[in-house]
Amino acid sequence: MKLKNRRIAAECAAGLKYPGEKKKYKTFKDWILGTSGKGIYEHFMRPYNEKLYHCKLDKMLPFGQSAYVPEVKRKRKAYGYNIEFYYPAAGGIGSFSKTLSGFVFDRTLLNAEVKEIDPVKREITYGDGMKAAGFKEIISTLPLPELIPRIKGAPKKVLAAAKKLRYISLFALNLGIGREKVNKNHWLYFADPEICFYRTGFYSNVSKKLCPPGMSSLYTEVSLKQGTGYDQKKLVKNIKRDLIETGVLKTSDNIIAEQPLYIKYAYVIFDLNYHKNIAILREYLKKVKIISTGRYGAWNYSAMEEALLDGKAAAGLIK
């Protein structure tokens, strides 16, 4: 991507030319400075990640070899984990899980909240009081802070470790716009703290079938600090204002559909106590024979393809 601001571009390029020495990085901040230099740190990585995580970067672990936060490279060729991807031609990504669920639908119970898991009796109690008993194995994809307090008899130390897990929540706004191709990109990231969202993306640029002809569909994502409430009316107003401020939408654009969404567990924060807390939880889950997997069950940064591979690996653990 070409930066229009020459001073910023020069500072980013200079830092990238002489990044810090290769060493074992202790924090996310050290890792960015050491691999990408001061320019990229100050102009993008610090403001963007502080906005996303609501956390100082010297209080987070380095992502290291994670494919999702790749080291910035001086390459003209595109790189990163998502420069190429597959997507269903029609029906959105939900069509994928719908198709998969077709194979097991007769054994699927939907919209049933797990209230309690008795690991000794091997029994699950649902929100409506219904029980599932006599299971040998259990694979859970519930977020760890939800799973642990639901396990009957979980020790205090384990409950405390689960409470210490850090994450961010998210408010997303899906919009339908009455204009074709409002933007040429798949998605855009915003580091500017004055802009309320950190990312916006364009469904209709992924597949034309994701909106009616002559229109566009897009999403915006606002990060919410763990445990804080939000004012939906105000957020929607600010998102629309900032879509115009950033040039994504025009004042003349007609918003013909909108869908607000709240996601409690959105991104795991790899705080400095992450490994300590996770080790306590994993040891306990092994003891009570619960396979906790998936993005929030393993408490990780992962994408949909890993969720599928996690499922396959979990099934492989069952004798």
If the CB atoms of residues 35 and 205 are measured against ligand FAD, the closer one turns out to be 205
Instruction: Give the shortest CB-266-to-ligand FAD separation in angstroms.
Output: 4
> 17 or 186: whose CB is closer to ligand FAD?
186
How many other CB atoms are there within 10 angstroms of residue 223's CB atom? 19
Minimum Å distance from CB 191 to ligand FAD?
Answer: 17
Site string for ligand FAD, 126-155 (x = CB under 6 A): ---------------xxx--x---------
Residue 25: alpha-carbon gap to chain centroid: 23
Integer Cα distance of 143 and 265 in angstroms: 7
Residues between 31 and 70 that touch ligand FAD (CB under 6 A): none
Q: Are 271 and 63 in contact (CB under 8 A)?
A: no
* Binder of ligand FAD out of 133, 261, 304, 318 (CB under 6 A): 304
Tell me the residue number closest to ligand FAD, measured at CB. Answer: 294
**H-helix or E-strand spanning residue 282:** helix 274-287
Residue 36 φ then ψ, to 5°: -120, -15
Answer yes or no whether residue 114 interacts with ligand FAD by CB under 6 A. Answer: yes
Q: How far apart are CA 169 and CA 267, in angstroms?
A: 7
Q: Which of residues 246-285 bind ligand FAD (CB under 6 A)?
A: 263, 266
What does 30-88 look like in DSSP terms, one character per residue?
A: HHHHHHHHHHHIIIIIHHHHHHHHSS-GGGB---TT-TTSPPP---SS--STTSS----
Binding status of residue 303 toward ligand FAD by CB under 6 A = yes
Site residues (CB under 6 A) for ligand FAD? 113-114, 141-143, 146, 170, 221, 263, 266, 294-296, 302-304, 307
